Amino acid sequence: MDVYQKSQASHPYTEQDIGTTRLLPTYRMDLRPTHSKDVFYQANPISNWKDVSWDKIGRPYRVERWSKEKLRWEKEHDQQLPPQTSWEMFNRSFQNLFDADALATRQEAFGTLGKSLGTLKMHEALEAVEDIVQATVWNKIHRVEDAVWDPRGKRALFEGLDVKKPEVLFLGAADGYEAMQLMAMYPGGHAVLVDYDDYCRTNRFGEFPEAYPFLGEDPATGAPRVWYRDEMNIDFEVVDIRDLKYGKEFDVVVSIGLIEHFPDEYKPLALDMHRRFLKPGGYAIMTTPRAQLQSKIFYTLFADIMNFAYRELMDVKHLGLYAYENGFEILRHGRIKAHNGIIARAR
Ligand SMILES: C[S@@+](CC[C@H](N)C(=O)[O-])C[C@H]1O[C@@H](n2cnc3c(N)ncnc32)[C@H](O)[C@@H]1O
């Protein structure tokens, strides 16, 4: 492969592809503009957070159907699965979904189903049916609807921040997707990804597709530009977020699907982690999964793959109220495809 072919392979899309979307074997590439039709970002349903109370909105929904692997571990060790071990299990099993070609997996499972029915191996047949359902649902959610990465929803949530070349801190970064989206939208900055599972550094982020295009901005002209991860200035720190030693040095502190893993007695700590390292006037960005029917069905069907740790599903009012009563001013809030999102500042 010469240099040109190599750069074509790792950077296959250019500004000429802006406005288009394509389904690839393991993900959707989506360079359609942020505000095209199906973003579903419903901004600002609450006008005054003082009027919201837990009595009025109730509590978040708890997911309590657990992964078999977690239950087996707890039986074998006669103790509760420690949180860090639960995340190590989660990250490996969730990443398997991102790595698999869902349609090929489904095809293979249909083959297994046929064979096991032919030989009357009913247990094997049931497992094959489960694989078919999971591959079909994952294909729809992640590939067709792109509801997990949700680039247009995330861009709609992240747009309009008053920052230039920002320093970004990503708490519980996993694959680091949202930091890359922020780096594309606000180019020239630097992101620190923090996760205590080293597998996230080596695999989830480490092997994130280098050919995935992020739609952002050209800093010289302000025109739309396609960015790739290897053009971004990103460091990955493998450490517990509670042990971080930074000062107030970040323009943006972001977490995606982290707050809902802290039961209420730890929510003040979780929210404080988003405030502690912000420069005065800096932005905290938080998202949590929505308590919608599709999400409840997803966490039931995918319990073995996803449910290793305490998890709540919320409405955006829950997320906003947690932030408001823990000292944040909420600048913007709304719903994207699978998550609630808020942009906040320390009050
Ligand atoms: C629910 S995941 C985030 C979801 C993510 N968007 C994804 O695609 O999987 C939360 C991440 O936070 C990390 N994490 C949880 N508690 C942490 C802590 N105290 N310190 C550092 N990382 C933590 C986990 O290892 C995991 O990778």
Residue 137 CB-half CA count within 13 A = 14
Please check the confidence at residue 8 and state whether its pLDDT lies above 60.
Answer: yes
> Are 182 and 163 contacting, i.e. CB atoms less than 8 angstroms apart?
no
Amino acid 122: pLDDT: 86
Q: Which atom of ligand 1 is nearest to the CA of 94?
A: 9
> Which tens digit of pLDDT belongs to each residue from 170-195?
999 999 999 999 999 999 999 999 99
> Which tens digit of pLDDT belongs to each residue from 99-147?
999 999 989 988 888 888 888 888 888 988 888 989 999 999 999 999 9
> How far does residue 84's CA lie from ligand 1's centre (Å)?
9
Q: Which CATH class is domain 3-56+149-346?
A: alpha beta
> How far does residue 236's CA lie from ligand 1's centre (Å)?
13
Amino acid 7: pLDDT: 75
The percentage of residues in the chain with a pLDDT greater than 70, rounded to a whole number, is 96
Please check the confidence at residue 40 and state whether its pLDDT lies above 70.
Answer: no
Q: What span, in angstroms and rounded, lies between the C-alpha atoms of 146 and 193?
A: 23
> How far does residue 257's CA lie from ligand 1's centre (Å)?
8
* Closest among 271, 321, 262, 311 to 291, alpha carbons compared: 311
Q: Which atom of ligand 1 is nearest to the CA of 87?
A: 25
Ligand 1, atom 7, residue with closest C-alpha:
174
Ligand 1, atom 16, residue with closest C-alpha:
172
Ligand 1, atom 10, residue with closest C-alpha:
172
* Residues near ligand 1 (Cβ within 6 A): 87, 91, 94, 172, 174-175, 194-197, 200, 240-242, 256-258
> How far does residue 300's CA lie from ligand 1's centre (Å)?
20
